[in-house]
Amino acid sequence: MVQLTDRLCGQPVSWGINYLPGWGVQLSADQVLADMRRAGLTATEFQPGLFPAEPETALRLFDAHSLRCVGGWAPLVFHGQPLDDVVAEFAKTATFLRSLGATVATIAAVTPGGDFDTRVELSEREWNEVLTGLDAVSEAGRDRGIRCVLHPHVGTAVETPADIARVIDGSDIEFCLDIGHIFCGGGDPVTIAQQLGDRIGHVHLKDVDTSIAEPMIAGETPWAAGVYSGVFTPLGQGDIDFDAIFRVLGEIDYDGWFVIEQDKRLHEDSPAPFDDVEVSVRFLTAMGSR
């Protein structure tokens, strides 16, 4: 069994934090970070719009809560853009993340102004631009001490099992195993994890309510609406086979972070997000002791 002690990380979206307009009630950085420590987490991922954009100020905030920042989100438009411009944009993000002490950037192949509610279809030329761009930003990340991992994500260019297979075959980039997005993109997370093998460089843990996910997979429910309806549950309360997931991670000797990322949208009467995070931490602690 994979060892989990001191490798549990929080993602602020588990507290409903999102930079998309109109996403829902947004809590303060102090509340989110205090909750992370209270739940027993030791790290966070950087969240734009929640944490300070000035490195020294952000580091003081993390230090005040005895948390470290280990990674951050890097949405990039690869298709239809000059490659040099894409790499230059990412280089700024990588330099910023490294200044926080982070070592991982989760890359998403997005569209301009994309809200993740619409399937992205690319031409052959655009696919070539994406694949070339992924390798280029990976190299730029390595040069700056940042490990780039591609995050399959609903509503981006890499969403379905076929998309993931195309990247596996056409690029050398590592992956963020995001269980929920893989499932909602129509994939089986265990099968995809086996296909990725030692190219798994980062893990986002979600559990899934399949009764809500199935109409999302069929294109009947948009991404944001599915999240609002609670497609992602606390770990252990949905339909994901975590025993099988952790067996795969054990087979490849995965030694990275386990990020609890239960995407949420909050309204004024929503239950405290901490309660769900605490359930997820207890579930992972129990798994790690087996």
pLDDT (tens digit, 9 = 90+) per residue, 233-275? 999 999 999 999 999 999 999 999 999 999 999 999 999 999 9
Q: How many domains does the chain divide into? A: 1
In a domain, 92, yes or no: yes
1 in a domain, yes or no? no
63 within a domain of the structure (yes/no): yes
Residue 112 pLDDT = 85
Q: Which two tokens stand for residue 272?
A: 């405290």
Residue 100: in which H helix or E strand, if any?
A: none
Domain-located, residue 74:
yes
CATH of the domain at 91: 3.20.20.150
Give the whole-angstrom CA distance, residue 136 versus residue 131.
9
| Residue 94 domain flag | yes
- Rounded to two decimals, the pTM is 0.96
Higher pLDDT, 216 or 5: 216
Query: Domain range for residue 230?
Result: 8-288
Q: Is the pLDDT score of 1 beyond 60?
A: no
pLDDT confidence of 289, banded at 50, 70, 90? low
Whether 3 maps to a domain, the answer reads: no
Q: Collapsing DSSP states into helix, strand and coil, what is residue 279?
A: helix
In a domain, residue 163? The reply is yes
> Is residue 2, in this structure, part of any structural domain at all?
no
Q: What is the pLDDT of residues 193-232, one digit of tens each?
A: 999 999 999 999 999 999 999 999 999 999 999 999 999 9
Concatenating the DSSP letter of every residue in 202-268 gives EEEE-EE-HHHHHHHHTTSS-HHHHHHTT-EESTTSSS--HHHHHHHHHHTT--S-EEE-------T
> 202 vs 66, 174, 187, 206, 239, CA distance in Å?
22, 9, 18, 13, 21
